[in-house]
Amino acid sequence: MVGFEQRLGAVLAERRQQGLYRQRLTLESAQGPVVRVDGKEYLNFCSNDYLGLAAHPKVIESFQRAASAYGVGSGASHLVCGHSHPHRALEEALAELTGRGRALLFSSGFAANTGTLTTLLQPGDHVFQDRLNHASLLDGGLHSGARFRRFAHNDVADLQRRLAAAQGLKLVVVDGVFSMDGDSAPLARLAALCRREQAWLMVDDAHGFGVMGDNGAGSVQAAGLGSGDVPVLMATLGKALGSAGAFVAGDELLIEGLIQQARNYIYTTAIPPAVAAAALTALHLLREESWRREHLHQLIARFRRGAAELGLALMHSNSAIQPLLCGEAARAVELSRQLRERGLLIGAIRPPTVPAGTSRLRITLSAGHSEQQVDRLLEELGRCQCS
Ligand SMILES: *Cc1c(COP(=O)(O)O)cnc(C)c1O
């Protein structure tokens, strides 16, 4: 019989041998365009802090002030006595920004997705997910007991065939902006199809919220859609908002359903009130410092122009995520290593996060970057011959 040690050991050995072993960096600085690791400074092109809000002085100040007033730990789950004024104020502001009746905070995006899917779906229902959806959406769908189908990436015709063949309650789930490719879901066409097929549409906008749409309201708003088109909207606070946690926004019925039934909501400690206060300040900054979004979009255009001139294999992305396809895992790892030697931090994304043969450098841009820093990135990429 194989024990746990042998099983764990075999997986580690296999990962090492295939060049898929992952290791963590330990940062010695705040998140930002430049970070310190092992006493050395690196230009950071792998963070999801797309607007440079994680270490914004006003966000830090709100966090500190709320920690003084509310302490650090929330002390309990939301339904016991862990729900405080900053949580409530943040939920109200999120509902307003997303144009929905209510919003509900979760401790993480992973919990929000699995909790929402397992609450909405039952055995006998059908859930349809884009092949490239985030792991938490796939896990939630699989755990729900509903019949689970994946459709080809951004392929509305493929989804249409699958929807037409299914009977019963149907839920379609997509990322608004895909986390490893950076491209956007065709939300308007998906919404029209879902309306015809009487399916609900759920969008995970972890990478669009704060970055896309007026005032950063996200991909759904940018596509001109409302809660009638996309009844379930989820986004995270740990990326463009520079904080932590996540939320689901929708109408009263959806939110009350989640409060009463979502196990990932009920049986977990609320995020610290100070984290909610920091996220609320970040939310105000989406409006007050709209230059951040404009600057980010200028940097994205600048990067794409420069990369095209270098002949690099760009993907169809107009988001802050600008991956460069490398193919084999070993090649992506080698390029990432070379860039790191030259002072640039860019993660190599390998299977199982992306399909075999599509390993890539996942370059992310932030409003915290300057044009000069993006030019430096292009210069180094040109030197490393990434295409
Ligand atoms: C990061 C991410 C999540 C998970 O959010 P966390 O708050 O980090 O748990 C969910 N969906 C997508 C698309 C993500 O990129």
Look at residue 284 and tell me whether its pLDDT is greater than 70: yes
Look at residue 360 and tell me whether its pLDDT is greater than 60: yes
Nearest CA to ligand 1 atom 14: 206
Q: What is the mean pLDDT of the chain?
A: 96
Task: Report yes or no on 208 lying in a domain.
Answer: yes
User: Do 222 and 273 fall into the same domain?
Assistant: yes
Higher pLDDT, 21 or 46: 46
> What's the CA dihedral at 166, 171, 177, 181 to 10 degrees?
-40
pLDDT confidence band for 387 (50 / 70 / 90): very low
User: Ligand 1 mean position to 206 CA, how many Å?
Assistant: 6
User: Ligand 1 mean position to 248 CA, how many Å?
Assistant: 12
For position 223, which CATH number holds? 3.40.640.10
Q: Could you tell me which residues come within 8 angstroms of residue 267 by beta carbon, excluding any fewer than 6 positions away?
A: 77
User: Do 368 and 238 fall into the same domain?
Assistant: no
User: Ligand 1 mean position to 382 CA, how many Å?
Assistant: 31
User: Ligand 1 mean position to 65 CA, how many Å?
Assistant: 27
Task: Report yes or no on 16 lying in a domain.
Answer: no
Q: Which residues are catalytic?
A: 179, 207, 239
Ligand 1, atom nearest to 237 Cα: 7
pLDDT tens-digit readout, 63-100: 999 999 999 999 999 999 999 999 999 999 999 999 99
Q: Domain boundary residue among 256, 272, 288? A: 288
Angle between helices 371-384 and 329-341 (to 10 degrees): 130
Task: Report yes or no on 349 lying in a domain.
Answer: yes
Task: Report yes or no on 229 lying in a domain.
Answer: yes
Nearest to 49 by CA among 210, 184, 273, 276: 210
Look at residue 384 and tell me whether its pLDDT is greater than 90: no
User: Do 124 and 208 fall into the same domain?
Assistant: yes
Instruction: Among 132, 133, 136, name the best residue to mutate to test ligand 1's pocket (greatest count of ligand atoms within 8 A of Cβ).
Output: 136
Nearest to 283 by CA among 155, 140, 105: 105
Our measurement of the distance from residue 60's CA atom to the centroid of its chain's CA atoms, rounded to an integer in Å, reads 22
Ligand 1, atom nearest to 207 Cα: 15
Backbone angles phi, psi at 6, to 5 degrees: -65, -40
The count of C-alpha atoms lying within 13 angstroms of the C-alpha of 281, restricted to the half-sphere facing its C-beta, is: 21
Task: Report yes or no on 14 lying in a domain.
Answer: no
List, as one string, the DSSP characters of 209-235: TTTSSGGG--HHHHTT--TTT-SEEEE
Ligand 1, atom nearest to 133 Cα: 13
Query: Can you tell me the distance from the alpha carbon of 159 to that of 152, in angstroms, rounded to the nearest whole number?
Result: 8
The DSSP element (H or E) to which 92 belongs, if any, is: helix 85-98
Region 351-374: mean pLDDT is: 95
Query: Can you tell me the distance from the alpha carbon of 172 to that of 58, in angstroms, rounded to the nearest whole number?
Result: 38
pLDDT tens-digit readout, 27-58: 999 999 999 999 999 999 999 999 999 999 99
User: Ligand 1 mean position to 110 CA, how many Å?
Assistant: 6
Query: Can you tell me the distance from the alpha carbon of 243 to that of 280, in angstroms, rounded to the nearest whole number?
Result: 9
pLDDT confidence band for 385 (50 / 70 / 90): low
> What's the CA dihedral at 72, 74, 76, 79 to 10 degrees?
180
Look at residue 386 and tell me whether its pLDDT is greater than 80: no
Ligand 1 pocket residues where CB is under 6 Å: 108-110, 113, 134, 136, 175, 179, 204, 206-207, 236, 238, 246
Instruction: Among 130, 179, 349, name the best residue to mutate to test ligand 1's pocket (greatest count of ligand atoms within 8 A of Cβ).
Output: 179
User: Do 372 and 341 fall into the same domain?
Assistant: yes
Number of domains present in the structure of the chain: 2
State the binding site: 22, 109-110, 134, 179, 207, 236, 353
Helices (H) and strands (E) in the chain, counts: 14, 13
User: Ligand 1 mean position to 171 CA, how many Å?
Assistant: 19
pLDDT tens-digit readout, 100-124: 999 999 999 999 999 999 999 999 9
pLDDT confidence band for 20 (50 / 70 / 90): confident
Nearest to 385 by CA among 324, 340, 302: 324
Q: Domain boundary residue among 288, 306, 323? A: 288
Share of residues in the chain with pLDDT > 90 (%) = 95
User: Do 34 and 151 fall into the same domain?
Assistant: no
User: Do 295 and 284 fall into the same domain?
Assistant: no
pLDDT value of position 99: 97
User: Do 158 and 28 fall into the same domain?
Assistant: no
Nearest to 117 by CA among 10, 109, 311: 109
State the binding site for pyridoxal 5'-phosphate: 109-110, 179, 207, 236
Ligand 1, atom nearest to 177 Cα: 13
pLDDT value of position 1: 79
Q: Which two tokens stand for residue 349?
A: 């994304």
pLDDT tens-digit readout, 220-265: 999 999 999 999 999 999 999 999 999 999 999 999 999 999 999 9
Nearest CA to ligand 1 atom 3: 109
pLDDT tens-digit readout, 136-149: 999 999 999 999 99
pLDDT tens-digit readout, 162-184: 999 999 999 999 999 999 999 99
Residue ranges making up the domain that contains 205: 57-288
Query: Can you tell me the distance from the alpha carbon of 387 to that of 371, in angstroms, rounded to the nearest whole number?
Result: 22
The single-letter DSSP state of residue 270 is P
Q: Domain boundary residue among 256, 288, 320? A: 288
pLDDT value of position 243: 98
CB 201 within 8 A of CB 232: yes
User: Do 108 and 122 fall into the same domain?
Assistant: yes
User: Do 96 and 187 fall into the same domain?
Assistant: yes
Task: Report yes or no on 183 lying in a domain.
Answer: yes
Query: Can you tell me the distance from the alpha carbon of 331 to that of 375, in angstroms, rounded to the nearest whole number?
Result: 23
User: Do 234 and 323 fall into the same domain?
Assistant: no
Looking up tokens 């792998």, which residue turns up?
46
Task: Report yes or no on 26 lying in a domain.
Answer: yes
Angle between helices 85-98 and 57-70 (to 10 degrees): 140
State the binding site for substrate: 22, 134, 353
Ligand 1, atom nearest to 244 Cα: 7
User: Do 94 and 235 fall into the same domain?
Assistant: yes
